A and B are shown apart, each in its own frame.
Chain A
Amino acid sequence: MASPMNLFTVAQRSMSAQLVRMNSAASNLANAGSVAATEDKAYRPMRAVFAEQLDQATGLSTVRVAGVHRTDAAPVKRHDPTNPMADAEGNIFESPVDQNAEMVEMLESSRQYQNMVEALQTAKQLMLETMRIK
C-alpha cells in the first residue's frame, strides 16, 4: 500500500468489508426459496471470509475480504412432480438457506458496522478538538 494507514482508512475498509458480508447475507435470503432442476444448479449460500491486513509502518490493522465462498451445504431434494422445474423422477432441489442463520449474520454485521461508526465518530471528534487548540 502506498500511503500509510490511518484511523479513517481502518474504519472505511472495515465498513466496506461488513457491507460485503451484509450483501452476501441478503443474496442468501433472497434466494431462500429458489429451486433448480439438478443438484449442481441449486443455489448454495455465500459467506464472506475476512482476513487481517496489517500495516507495518503504523502498526494499525484493518480488514480485507479474503473471498466470498459458497458453503458446501447439500441442496434439499423434494419430490414435487407438479413443479415445472421437476426432473424425470419428479424431484426438485431447493437452496439450503437457513433463514434464521442469515438473519443473525445480518444483525451481527450491522452491529459491527455501527460499532465502527461510533468509534470513528469519537476519534474524529478528539482529532478536531486537538486541532482547535490555539
Chain B
Amino acid sequence: MSDTIFGIHGAALELRSQRMGLIASNIANAGTPGYKARDIDFASALKARMAGSDSDQAASTATLYRVPVMPSLDGNTVEMATEQTAFAENAVGYSATLSFIRSRVETLSRAMKGD
C-alpha cells in the first residue's frame, strides 16, 4: 500500500535511515582497535529494493567495507572527515526524500478534503 502511494521515496527513506544508523556506528567506533568501517552503497541498495527485495536484504547486500585513505596502526578504518561528510550527505538526502513524501501526503489529503 505505502509502496504505491510513496513510490521510490518510501523505499529511499527506509534505506537512508538504515544508512544513518550504519554511519553512526562508524562514528561511535572511531576509537575501537581493529574496527572496519562499513557503508551502504545507496544507489545499488535502492536498485535492489525497487527490483523487489525487502529493505533489510537490499541494505545488507549493498553494505561494503570502506577503503581508508590512510591505513592506521591499530587496524581501525574510521576516518572522521569521511564519516562526517557521509553522515551530512545522508542527512540532506533524508530531508529531501522526506519533503517529497510530505508533499505527496499533502496532495492526497487535499484531494480527500476536496477543497
Contacts and interface: CB of A to CB of B under 8 A. Distances in A.
Contact of A123 (B24, B60, B63, B80): B24
Interface string B40-70: 0000000000000000000110010000000
A11 B28 contact: yes
Contacts, number: 88
Contacts of B98: 126, 129-130, 133
Given A59-B59, A116-B27, A129-B95, A7 B32 contact: no
Interface string B83-115: 010011001001100100110010001000000
Contacts of A49: 33
B31 A134 contact: no
B20 A126 contact: yes
Interface of B: 13, 18, 20-25, 27-35, 59-60, 63, 80, 84, 87-88, 91, 94-95, 98, 101-102, 105, 109
